[in-house]
Amino acid sequence: MTIPTNDYNRDMCDLRHLHLADTLARIDERLERIETTLGGNGAPGVARRLERMETLVTRYETLAWRVIAPLIPLALAALVTGAAVLLHRAQ
């Protein structure tokens, strides 16, 4: 028993196959771009960029504390002096 072939169905299958092949090619291109971004591919990848940002944050935090730490006793002294002046005037 032979099964008759239908050219209409074959054409539909061919069109569907071409559409799916095109879709898979676009997905493959996207995955390649993602892989390049993550891996670096000669340029700094995401991990390296993150490492650089963390280094900068650490550097600026340290710098900020070097500036702020000496100012804390000065601010406390100004508060105590201001409170003493206000108490002295109240008498």
Please give the average per-residue pLDDT across 49-73, as a whole number.
85
d(CA 87, CA 69): 28
Q: How does the average pLDDT of the chain come out, rounded?
A: 84
The reply to whether 55 and 30 lie within a common domain is no
Does residue 55 share a domain with residue 32? no
Q: How many domains does the chain have?
A: 2
Residues 56 and 82 in one domain: yes
Give me the domain span that covers residue 89.
Answer: 47-91
Q: What does the angle CA 28 – CA 31 – CA 37 come to, to the nearest 5 degrees?
A: 145
- pTM for the model: 0.41
Whether residue 38 is found in the same domain as residue 68 = no
Note whether 32 and 40 are within 8 A (CB).
no
Q: Indicate whether 34 and 72 sit together in one domain.
A: no
- 32 and 62 part of one domain: no
Tell whether the model's pLDDT for residue 1 goes beyond 80.
no
